Amino acid sequence: MKSFLASAFVLLSGFALLADAHISFRYPCPRRGPYYECPQPGPDQWNLVDYDIRSPIGTHGNIVSPMCKHPDSFAGTRPVFAAGQSYEATMDIGAFHKGGSCQWTLSYDNGATWVVFQDNLKTCMSDASNGNTYKMPFKIPAGAPSGKAILNLIWNNNEGNREMYSSCADVVIQGTNGGSLSGVAPLIANYGP
């Protein structure tokens, strides 16, 4: 009987995690993401895979995780994005909360500072559907410098609990020598008191 109850608890806990899941990058691969197409953990790193990657990083009264959730990715090839070019991210949608406000940001200093290069207020992902993937266009700024960077999509939902989501991917920007990225810092809302 104890074995049955333990199995039932594990199964129901898994459903609870899925019910609490909302959005994450699927491509480019999020840091420590569980997706098969993403860099895989080393033999002693399986406990570091984030199976709850779509959960919020904070609410209006609580900070749950740091901005990128994790300090790094598993070893692997970073996708390369060219300055001035348009691309499409694939989002893994658990619950879309009737959309919200999105800000695309880049950091060249491992998340110490962020620069917003594209935003969509109020209608971001408003035509998505729960349990599916969703394509989101973005364009790397023409003046972006070359180098390793973190691409981050910050999202605040329209409906339900006031939550903030952040999906980070380690990327390489093929930019211009001596290029620079300027802009505003992201609007941080629903991320602690």
SS3 100: strand
In a domain, 179, yes or no: no
Query: Which residue matches tokens 């992902």?
Result: 125
Find the range with the poorest average confidence among 54-68, 90-104, 171-185. 90-104
Check residue 21 and give its pLDDT. 54
Is 186 contained in some domain? no
User: Is the preceding peptide bond at 30 cis, omega within 30 degrees of 0?
Assistant: no
For residue 114, the enclosing domain spans 22-174
Tens digits of residue pLDDT in 38-69:
999 999 999 999 999 999 999 989 999 999 99
Q: Which residues pair with 120 in a beta bridge?
A: 102
Tell me, yes or no, whether 96 lies in a domain.
yes
Q: Note whether residue 152 is domain-resident.
A: yes
The per-residue pLDDT for 65 is 94
Give pLDDT tens digits for 101-135: 899 999 999 999 999 999 988 778 777 777 788 89
pLDDT band, very low/low/confident/very high, at 99 (cuts 50, 70, 90): low
Q: Is residue 97 part of a domain?
A: yes
Distance, CA of 157 to CA of 165 (rounded, Å): 8
CA distance 152 to 90: 13
Give the global pTM.
0.85
Q: The domain spanning residue 164 has which CATH number?
A: 2.70.50.70
**Number of domain units in the chain:** 1
| Cα-based angle 107, 128, 23 (whole degrees, multiple of 5) | 45
Q: Is residue 7 part of a domain?
A: no
12 in any annotated domain: no
